Copies of this chain bind each other. A is one copy, B any other.
Amino acid sequence: MIDIEVVLSPALLHLAEVKNKNVVVIDILRATSTICTAIHEGASSVRAVDSIDEALILRNQGYVIAGERNGHKIEGFDMGNSPFECMNGLLTDKKLALTTTNGTKCITAAMIAGASHVIAGSFLNIDATANWLKTDNKAVILLCAGWKDKVNLEDSLYAGALSKKLLNFNQLKLECDSTFMVLDLYEKAANNISEYLTKSSHYQRLSHLHHQEDMEYCLTENKFTTVVGQKNVEMFKIN
């Protein structure tokens, strides 16, 4: 039986016992969707970094550097934070360093807190991720990146969707009220996630920035089966 806990904001991560658990970091729009896409499209690794300066140093070590702040590409960077920028062979065998407003900070926080694996959560590979977690058979924390520590709908919804998949394996130990909340939220939205999310604050924010195509892509389930995780300082294909 897998013990599961949902953390709705990075500001609540200190309340969870992270050590030796698998932590799924969830920044659906768009960091963790983009990371999964980059690895699926052939990047050799993705390194989540907290600061722009750290990324600039890594560029000197041969990394392609990508990132956004407040939804905008960082000036002087090779790429923004769109999954489409990872396609068409542009990242084949390249090492990518990514820094974003919310998601990449959660990846480093979860590693520092002692996670067994940190997994990049996305709808794009949700079934493969659920299967990997089932097989690895460790307690799981679903860490929603939110927006600047505020709880958001799309990350909570994915936490519900993944909890549901794990529940379907009949392996879930539920003692966490946040898990009940996201499961019910997902049930409410499952029929049409895109439509449901039109009310979310970040969906509105990205719409204003003309990222409609990114959002539709990031909400598509099971486009690929690559599972992306991190044991030390880089994210790789782990299945």
Closest B residue by C-beta to A187: B188
Answer yes or no: A148 CB below 8 A from chain B CBs: yes
Answer yes or no: A184 CB below 8 A from chain B CBs: yes
Mark A189-200 against chain B: 1 for CB-CB distance below 8 A, else 0.
100000000011
Q: In the docked arrangement, what's the CA distance between A148 and B177, Å? A: 13
Answer yes or no: A9 CB below 8 A from chain B CBs: yes
Answer yes or no: A81 CB below 8 A from chain B CBs: no
Q: List CB contacts (< 8 Å) of A144-176 with chain B.
A: 148-153, 156, 174-176
Give the A interface residue count (CB, 8 A): 28
Q: Which residue from B174, B177, B201 sits with its C-beta under 8 Å from A151?
A: B177
Answer yes or no: A8 CB below 8 A from chain B CBs: yes
Q: How far is the CB of A83 from chain B (nearest CB, A)?
A: 22
Answer yes or no: A238 CB below 8 A from chain B CBs: no
Query: What are 22 of the A-B contact pairs (CB < 8 Å)?
Result: A8-B8, A8-B9, A11-B12, A12-B12, A12-B150, A12-B151, A15-B149, A15-B150, A150-B176, A150-B178, A151-B177, A152-B177, A153-B180, A153-B181, A175-B201, A177-B201, A177-B202, A180-B199, A181-B185, A184-B188, A184-B189, A187-B188
Q: Which chain A residues have a beta carbon within 8 Å of chain B's beta carbons?
A: 8-9, 11-12, 15, 148-153, 156, 174-178, 180-181, 184-185, 187-189, 199-202
